[in-house]
């Protein structure tokens, strides 16, 4: 027999386990790996002795090959206790399951697994998601490749390094896979949203529930309406409310508008008072008005503040990029009086008061104006965002151009569908 350095899981599953006296003592049915290592390390083999499978310490096993057949040699047979955390069974939890290709940012089905002996043990090094892996399991990959060879062809092979894989799936429910979760959280929220939308509902909820509230809020914001509703209805009220509190109030209002009234009220009641009131105010606006589209996340300053004070405050608040297109200047009654561009703020002397560099010619809209009017205003004045005031000129929010375009496109699509 020849000792080998690398092989596929399909090569050894179902094969005989041989004792040191070259006697078959059982059949390999699975391998347990520990995820606390840099790569999954095989620590135990699940071997079927008669009808009862037991776990053996993989330190006493070697994989050998003779006449194109794989055997597992065992030098010591004794039942082995494995840790309860960070453990995966390769056949049970990974093979034929969905994984996330982190680099490709998409779901893939695991057809086989590549393992390799390194200096201190056996490790999973790659996932096979190609057609060749699937046919290898059916024991037809080799003859098919041989038949294709004269034509200069071969079966398509696709391996993903384990470093670029995050294991997920309902079969792993209850397992603590902190490392796998941390891999998912490196994805951009929009990529993770796309992946979650492709999962079955149970797995979708399991993965989403494990995200921290900040990440979950970013991901929920990127999901399609149907998926948002599905997730919120599946989460506990407490978790759902915690996530919604991390989102902009206008986004929350849009989502709750699509839920049935009873569920929306249940979630609102669980949210903190300030966040709840902000959302309720937005939900009170009629659908076709500017107020229903605006965000209440804007940054305003008093005209007597200096440039230095304003910049210091911005550094403290660390506003997201889509909320500081313009800085708004309010008087003591919270009435909108002017705007200040970031350019003027940066190039002005630090002791310059805002009233010396602000622009009093403010293009604005009122909260009960129709949404249709926004497109013409944005186009005419080349604006990125528009401040929104009430009938007394008190600032109540702002509308971002992206939201305007999205709303108008959605309305047009709905109109076309009705006409068809």
* Residue 175 clears pLDDT 50, i.e. is over it: no
- Give the start-end residues of each E strand in 192-304: 300-302
Q: What is the per-residue pLDDT across 393-405, written as a single tens digit (0 to 9) for each?
A: 999 999 888 777 6
- Residue 178, pLDDT score: 56
Tokens of 121: 């043990």
Nearest to 173 by CA among 204, 151, 143: 204
Q: For residue 356, give the DSSP letter.
A: G
The yes-or-no verdict on residue 21 having pLDDT over 90 is: no
Confidence label for 170 from pLDDT (cuts 50, 70 and 90):
very low
Query: Could you tell me the strand order of the sheet in which 365-366 lies?
Result: 365-366, 385-389, 395-400
The contacts of residue 98 (CB under 8 Å, 6+ apart) are 107, 108, 109, 110, 168, 169, 199, 203
Task: Please give the DSSP secondary-structure letter assigned to residue 370.
Answer: B
- 87, two tokens: 């453990």
Q: What confidence score (pLDDT) does residue 407 get?
A: 65
pLDDT in the model for residue 394: 95
pLDDT digits (tens, 9 = 90+) for 300-312: 899 889 999 999 9
Residue pLDDT, tens place only, 27-66: 999 999 998 888 899 999 999 987 788 999 999 999 988 8
Token representation of residue 339:
């705007």
Token code pair at residue 154: 């071969």
Contact 55, 110 (CB under 8 A): no
Q: pLDDT > 90: what percent of the chain?
A: 46
Among the listed residues 263, 206, 270, 203, the one whose alpha carbon sits nearest the alpha carbon of residue 233: 263
| 242/246 Cα distance (integer angstroms) | 7
Half-sphere exposure of 200 (CA within 13 A, CB side): 9
Lowest mean pLDDT among 16-20, 178-182, 184-188, 335-339: 178-182
pLDDT of 166 reads 83
Contact 221, 251 (CB under 8 A): yes
Confidence of residue 382 (pLDDT cuts 50, 70, 90): confident
CB of 411 within 8 A of CB of 287? no
CB 268 within 8 A of CB 280: yes
Segment 183-233, tens digit of pLDDT? 788 889 999 999 999 988 888 888 898 888 999 999 999 999 899 999 999
Select from 121, 141, 122 the least CA-distant residue to 130.
141
DSSP state of 157: -
CB under 8 Å to 369, separation ≥6 — which residues?
Answer: 289, 290
Nearest Cα to 251, choosing from 348, 323, 305, 354? 323
* Domains, in order of start, for the chain: 2-83 (2.30.30.240), 211-284 (1.25.60.10), 300-408 (3.10.580.10)
């Amino acid at each position: 027999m020849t000792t080998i350095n690398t092989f596929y899981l399909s090569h050894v599953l179902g094969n005989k386990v041989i004792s040191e006296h070259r006697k078959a003592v059982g059949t390999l049915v699975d391998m347990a790996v520990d995820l606390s290592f840099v790569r999954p390390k095989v620590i135990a083999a699940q071997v079927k002795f008669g009808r009862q499978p037991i776990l053996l310490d993989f330190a006493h096993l070697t994989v050998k090959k003779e006449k194109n057949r794989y055997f597992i040699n065992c030098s010591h047979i004794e039942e082995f206790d494995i840790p309860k955390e960070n453990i995966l069974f390769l056949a049970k939890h990974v093979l034929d399951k969905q994984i996330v290709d982190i680099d490709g940012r998409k779901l893939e089905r695991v057809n086989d697994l590549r393992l390799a002996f390194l200096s201190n043990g056996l490790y999973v090094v790659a996932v096979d998601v190609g057609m060749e892996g699937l046919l290898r399991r059916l024991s037809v990959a080799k003859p098919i490749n041989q038949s294709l060879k004269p034509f200069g062809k071969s079966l398509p092979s696709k391996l993903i390094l384990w470093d670029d894989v995050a294991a997920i799936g309902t079969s792993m429910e209850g397992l603590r896979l902190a490392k796998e979760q941390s891999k998912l959280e490196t994805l951009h929220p929009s990529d993770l949203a796309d992946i979650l939308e492709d999962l079955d509902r149970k797995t979708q909820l399991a993965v989403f529930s494990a995200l921290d509230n900040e990440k979950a809020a970013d991901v929920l914001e990127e999901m399609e309406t149907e998926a948002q509703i599905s997730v919120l209805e599946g989460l506990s009220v407490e978790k759902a409310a915690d996530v919604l509190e991390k989102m902009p109030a206008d986004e929350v209002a849009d989502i709750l508008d699509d839920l049935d009234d009873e569920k929306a009220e249940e979630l609102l009641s669980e949210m903190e008072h300030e966040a709840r009131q902000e959302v309720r105010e937005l939900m009170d606006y009629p659908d076709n008005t500017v107020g229903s589209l605006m965000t209440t996340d804007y940054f305003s300053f008093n005209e007597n503040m200096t440039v230095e004070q304003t910049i210091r405050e911005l550094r403290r608040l660390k506003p997201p990029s889509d909320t500081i297109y313009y800085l708004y200047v309010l008087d003591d009654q919270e009435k909108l009086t002017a705007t200040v561009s970031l350019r003027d703020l940066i190039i002005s002397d630090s002791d310059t008061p805002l009233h010396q560099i602000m622009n009093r010619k403010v293009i604005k809209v009122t909260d009960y104006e129709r949404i249709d009017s926004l497109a013409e205003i944005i186009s005419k004045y080349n604006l990125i965002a528009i401040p929104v005031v009430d009938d007394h000129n008190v600032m109540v929010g702002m509308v971002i151009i992206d939201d305007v375009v999205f709303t108008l496109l959605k309305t047009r699509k709905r109109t076309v569908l009705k006409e068809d």
